[in-house]
């Protein structure tokens, strides 16, 4: 069993007015081979990634993984969410998070609500992103097929086959990404990674091994 180092901390992002909480896992020995940023949905927080073992799985796979609590949620409740004016604020918010935590180039895992941050970030700063793993994110309809086609970052589109609403809508839009593959998790709902962590972890690590 490879040893894993787990830490917690907070970072100050200018636009949020109050600190953001994060959890981090990394291999206890040796250099991490890549950085992964774990975002979350509206009813969730970084704690979910801890509880289902994603932080540990990534560290054992040789990655440094950081799971943040998004502004207004989890243990970042007093942090203010950036206004989505012209979609610049959400993109620069994640850019600042990655800069402060020295994550670039980063693999972004983005379920549900976090799409409002990760999609603008992907479209405006793809040079900072090593790969993109959307899990039925919101806001996919806000961008055109041409915008998606301009993204060359490798993407793994994941959703549960019981997520008839967001899963299929997000797939329809995200399948315009130039370099993507799709994993449909059988019998899993909207937070498919919670329904079947083993399948999720296998899909995640298999994909990271291709990067």
Task: Exactly one of 163, 180, 195, 201 is catalytic; name it.
Answer: 163
Cβ–Cβ under 8 Å, residues 96 and 88: no
Dihedral of the CA atoms 46, 48, 52, 55 (nearest 10)? 0
Give yes or no: 172 in active site. no
Active site residue 175: no
> Contact at 8 Å (CB) between 37 and 106?
yes
- Catalytic residue among 110, 190, 195, 196, which? 190
Q: Which of 35, 46, 92, 112 is catalytic?
A: 112
* CA–CA dist 202, 47 (Å, integer): 20
Contact 174, 153 (CB under 8 A): no
DSSP string, 103-142: --SEEEEEEGGGHHHHHHHHHH-GGGEEEEEEES-S-GGG
Whether 35 is catalytic: no
Rounded to 5 degrees, φ, ψ at 52 are -90, 0
The residues assigned a catalytic role are 112, 163, 190
């Amino acid at each position: 069993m490879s040893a894993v180092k787990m830490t917690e901390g907070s970072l100050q992002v200018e636009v949020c007015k109050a600190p953001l909480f994060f959890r981090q896992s990394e291999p206890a020995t040796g250099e991490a081979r890549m950085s992964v940023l774990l975002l979350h949905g509206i009813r969730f927080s970084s704690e979910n990634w801890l509880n289902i073992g994603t932080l540990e799985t990534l560290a054992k796979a040789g990655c440094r993984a950081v799971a943040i609590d998004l502004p207004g949620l989890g243990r970042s409740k007093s942090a203010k969410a950036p206004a989505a004016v012209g979609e610049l604020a959400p993109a620069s918010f994640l850019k600042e998070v990655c800069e402060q935590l020295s994550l670039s180039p980063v693999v972004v895992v983005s379920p549900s609500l976090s799409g409002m941050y990760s999609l603008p970030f992907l479209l405006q700063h793809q040079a900072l992103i090593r790969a993109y793993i959307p899990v039925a994110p919101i806001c996919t309809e806000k961008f055109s097929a041409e915008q998606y086609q301009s993204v060359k970052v490798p993407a793994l589109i994941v959703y549960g086959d019981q997520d008839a609403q967001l899963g299929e809508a997000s797939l329809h839009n995200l399948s315009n990404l130039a370099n993507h593959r799709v994993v449909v998790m059988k019998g899993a709902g909207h937070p498919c990674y919670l329904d079947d962590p083993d399948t999720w972890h296998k899909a995640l690590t298999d994909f990271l091994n291709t990067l």
